[in-house]
Amino acid sequence: MTGSERREQLVTISRALFAEKGFEGTSVEEIAARAKVSKPVVYEHFGGKEGIYAVVVDREVQRLLGMLTEQLGAGGHPKVIVEKAALTLLDYIEANTDGFRILVRDSPVAQATGTFSSLIGDVATQVEHLLAEQFRARRLDPAAAPMYAQMLVGLIALTGQWWLEARHPDKTVVAAHMVNLAWNGLKGLERDPRLSSLAQDPSSDRRPGAARG
């Protein structure tokens, strides 16, 4: 086995272990044992568990981000783009279950550029300008678009985490329901939303413009 082949073998084995046991539950000893090599071989290629974990996470981030970027970059009606984003994430989960499990797990060695939350932030940034265009067309404040982009992408991401385990109903049905909630909600946005519970309570100090203590 060549050096590059050994490296790929170790990445593949580690990916499965990290998905199954998490970062803390996986040891260099177990990685080496499954690869049928000694621990120094793992250290030689990656410098330790943190190094191989970083490679695994980076590959998954790039794979998912590439899939989403391809779909979002194709353009089209905003509703269709929301549909594509939802279905693409579910496609990724279905085809790369181990990878998604790793991405959504917290790890003490995950870097700012290699976490699921940062990935979701990258996708939300791509959605911002699409929402801003729709806000302007509907005479809504486009400055609120970044916040709504985070909400929209967060909805899709959290539902994807749920579907990771549930796997029912079919991904197309799940995507359709996500878009139903997101799009119909966006379609009926108010220009100046207020919390009805606070509006009915004149003594509340949480009303817009209320004095702070």
Write the DSSP assignment of 58-88 as a string of letters. HHHHHHHHHHHHHHHTT---HHHHHHHHHHH
Does the residue 124 lie in any domain? yes
Tens digit of each residue's pLDDT (9 = 90 or more) over 118-130: 778 888 887 888 7
Tell me what the mean pLDDT of segment 59-85 comes to.
84
205 φψ region: left (φ > 0), alpha (ψ -120 to 50), beta (else): alpha
Q: Is the pLDDT of residue 135 over 90?
A: no
Min mean pLDDT across 94-98, 103-107, 113-117 is at 113-117
Q: Kindly list the distances between the CA atom of residue 158 and the CA atoms of 59, 89, 152, in Å, as whole numbers in the listed order.
A: 21, 11, 10
- Work out how many domains the chain is built from and give that number: 1
- Distance of CA 140 to CAs 154, 180, 185, 193, Å? 21, 21, 14, 11
Is 26 contained in some domain?
Answer: no
For position 141, which CATH number holds?
1.10.357.10
Asked if residue 84 is part of any domain, the answer here is yes
> Residue 65 is part of which domain span?
57-188
Hey, what are 41's tokens?
């071989």
Is 105 part of any domain? yes
H-helix or E-strand containing 159?
A: helix 145-166
Tokens matching residue 162: 């749920």
CA distance linking residue 98 with residue 109, whole number of Å: 18
What's residue 211's pLDDT?
Answer: 46
Is 122 inside a domain boundary?
yes
Q: Judge contact between 191 and 139, C-beta under 8 A.
A: yes
Report the largest interatomic distance among the alpha carbons of the chain, rounded to a whole angstrom: 74
The answer as to whether 89 is a domain residue is yes
Q: Is the pLDDT of residue 96 over 50?
A: yes
Is 16 domain-assigned?
A: no
Percent with pLDDT over 70 in the chain: 88
Q: Examine the pLDDT at 110 and tell me if it is beyond 70.
A: no
Does residue 50 lie in a domain region? no
- Assess whether pLDDT exceeds 60 at residue 210: no
CB 124 within 8 A of CB 146: yes
Q: What pLDDT was estimated at residue 108? A: 56
- pLDDT score for 212: 47
Q: Could you report the per-residue pLDDT of 148-201, keeping only the tens digit for each? A: 989 988 899 899 999 999 999 999 999 999 999 988 888 888 888 989 888 666
